[in-house]
Amino acid sequence: MSTRAITVMTHGRPQETSAALRELGEMAAAAGALLTLDADETAKHPLVGDVAGLAFDTPAAPGAELCLALGGDGTILRALRSYARTSVPVFAVNFGEVGFLSTVEPERMREGFARALAGTLDVLSLPAIEVEGPAGSHVALNDLSLHRKVGGRVAELAYGIAGDEIGSVRCDGIVVATPAGSTGYNLANGGPVMAWGVAGMAVSFIAPHSLGARALVVAPDDVLMLHNSSRETLAVSVDGRPVGEIAPQQVVRARFAHDIAKLAQMDGSSFYRRLREKFGRLSR
């Protein structure tokens, strides 16, 4: 019988995750599974000697049954992007600050991973935003943002649907978020929080220079057009990562896409409980 493969992705502070990696490797070995680390992950975790359940310098297995992410939301998003449009779910242990997308906190790591190995976790399908423009084609699982460069002038961004302009706002930038991403940059802008399961894109403005700028939610079948009406080139970011630029008078298109990535979840894990626990904890 072939060994079950589970790929591993961790954040950039291996001193925080190496012990957990060793522990989960032992659990995987007992269940007939193997945690595989590619060259980059192997360089992060110079564990000495043979470690049960861990395979080093191993390319990501195309037949992996699970992706294990140890880190914060950035690491989890990287894992989700890597397995977008596949059936491989991401099981995430929060070793970050907020970890809104995480499956479990470290204290419940063993319980959750045992469930993952047994195949008894719930799997949530996450939507994304398909982005097309001068910076190429991208998939945003959290958000797309257009924003002025450091030292640049205030941006002017027009936005519309099906050829009809909705408005034009002078601002530092604009953010288009998925429901999962609505609790990130969008929330910081005062944009609407969208519960998981809601279909649509939240649009909010970064430091708008207008009393009339209002956030909105775009219907899932509508294509949102973002037009750079500024005199300067703006930066384009996807999930917080710079991906290119948009010159004056150029356009970026954003459309909602269903069921792009899979996230493993514990039973009874509700969006509203997660919202209270994650953000309520930070406000104390």
Dist CA 143 CA 255 (whole Å): 12
- Which of 94, 36, 96, 39 lies closest to 66 in space, CA to CA? 36
267 catalytic per annotation? no
Catalytic residue chosen out of the listed positions 57, 73, 122, 164:
73
Strand-pair partners of 143: 177
Q: Which two tokens stand for residue 116?
A: 């993952």
Q: What residues are labeled active site?
A: 73
